[in-house]
Amino acid sequence: MSKITCTSPIDGSVYAERDCLSVDAARVAVARAKAAQRDWAALPLQDRIAYVNKAVAYIGETTDRMVIELAHQMGRPVRYGGEFGGFEERAHHMASIAADALAPIVIEDSDDFLRKIEREPQGVVFVVAPWNYPYMTAINTIAPALIAGNAVVLKHASQTILVGEHLAEAFAAAGLPGAVFTNLVLDHDTTSILIAEGHFGLVNFTGSVGGGRAMERAAAGTFTAVSTELGGKDPGYVRVDADLDAAVETLIDGAMFNSGQCCCGIERIYVHHSLFDAFVEKAVALVKTYVLGDPRNPETTLGPMANIRFAQEARAQIDEAMAAGATAHIPTMPTDDGGAYLTPQILTEVTHDMRIMRDETFGPAVGIMPVQNDAEAIELMNDSQFGLTCSLWTRDADAAEAIGRQLETGTVFMNRCDYLDPALCWTGCKDTGRGAGLSALGFHAVTRPKSYHLKKLKS
Query: Looking at the DSSP assignment, which residues form a beta bridge with residue 106?
Result: 116
**What are the contacts of 307-313 at 24+ separation with CB within 8 A?**
307/7, 307/9, 307/159, 307/340, 308/9, 308/12, 308/339, 308/340, 310/261, 310/340, 310/362, 310/363, 311/339, 311/340, 311/341, 311/342, 311/363, 313/361, 313/362, 313/363
Query: Looking at the DSSP assignment, which residues form a beta bridge with residue 190?
Result: none
Taking alpha carbons only, the member of 400, 366, 371, 392 closest to residue 275 is 371
What three-state secondary structure class fits 305? coil
Does domain 3-230+433-455 sit in CATH 3.40.605.10? yes
Residue 408: the pLDDT is: 98
Residue 62: the pLDDT is: 95
Q: Buried b vs exposed e over 333-362: b needs ≥16 C-beta within 10 Å?
A: beebeebbbbbbbbbbebeeebbbbbbbbb
CA angle 228, 233, 238 (to 5 degrees): 130
How many whole angstroms separate alpha carbon 257 and alpha carbon 364? 8
Taking alpha carbons only, the member of 291, 283, 287 closest to residue 334 is 291
Residue 459: the pLDDT is: 74
Q: What is the DSSP letter of 80?
A: G
Q: At what angle do helices 45-61 and 84-101 cross, to 10 degrees?
A: 180
Taking alpha carbons only, the member of 266, 272, 236, 267 closest to residue 370 is 272
Q: Are 399 and 407 in contact (CB under 8 A)?
A: no
Helix (H) or strand (E) holding 202: strand 202-206
Q: What is the DSSP letter of 297?
A: S
User: 281-305, pLDDT tens digit by residue?
Assistant: 999 999 999 999 999 999 999 999 9
Domain ranges of the chain: 3-230+433-455, 234-421
Residue 362: the pLDDT is: 98
Q: Percentages helix, strand, coil for the chain, rounded to the nearest 5?
A: 40, 20, 35
Q: Which of 6, 20, 262, 263 is catalytic?
A: 263
What sign for the dihedral angle of Cα 204, 50, 121, 176? positive
Residue 418: the pLDDT is: 84
How many whole angstroms separate alpha carbon 260 and alpha carbon 75? 12
Neighbours of 379 (CB within 10 A): 13
Active site residue 390: no
Q: How far is CA 257 from CA 57, 295, 332, 360, 456, in A?
A: 26, 13, 18, 16, 60
Neighbours of 319 (CB within 10 A): 13
Residue 330: the pLDDT is: 98
Taking alpha carbons only, the member of 339, 385, 348 closest to residue 368 is 348
How many whole angstroms separate alpha carbon 304 and alpha carbon 159? 13
Residue 59: the pLDDT is: 98
Active site residue 263: yes
pLDDT in tens for each of the 459 residues of the chain? 699 999 999 999 999 999 999 999 999 999 999 999 999 999 999 999 999 999 999 999 999 999 999 999 999 999 999 999 999 999 999 999 999 999 999 999 999 999 999 999 999 999 999 999 999 999 999 999 999 999 999 999 999 999 999 999 999 999 999 899 999 999 999 999 999 999 999 999 999 999 999 999 999 999 999 999 999 999 999 999 999 999 999 999 999 999 999 999 999 999 999 999 999 999 999 999 999 999 999 999 999 999 999 999 999 999 999 999 999 999 999 999 999 999 999 999 999 999 999 999 999 999 999 999 999 999 999 999 999 999 999 999 999 999 999 999 999 999 999 899 999 999 999 999 999 999 999 999 999 999 999 999 987
- Give first-to-last CA distance, the chain, whole Å: 67
Domains 3-230+433-455 and 234-421 share a fold: no
Say which CATH topology domain 234-421 has.
Answer: Aldehyde Dehydrogenase; Chain A, domain 2 (3.40.309)
Neighbours of 296 (CB within 10 A): 15
Q: Which of 229, 264, 390, 425 is catalytic?
A: 229
pTM above 0.95, yes or no: yes
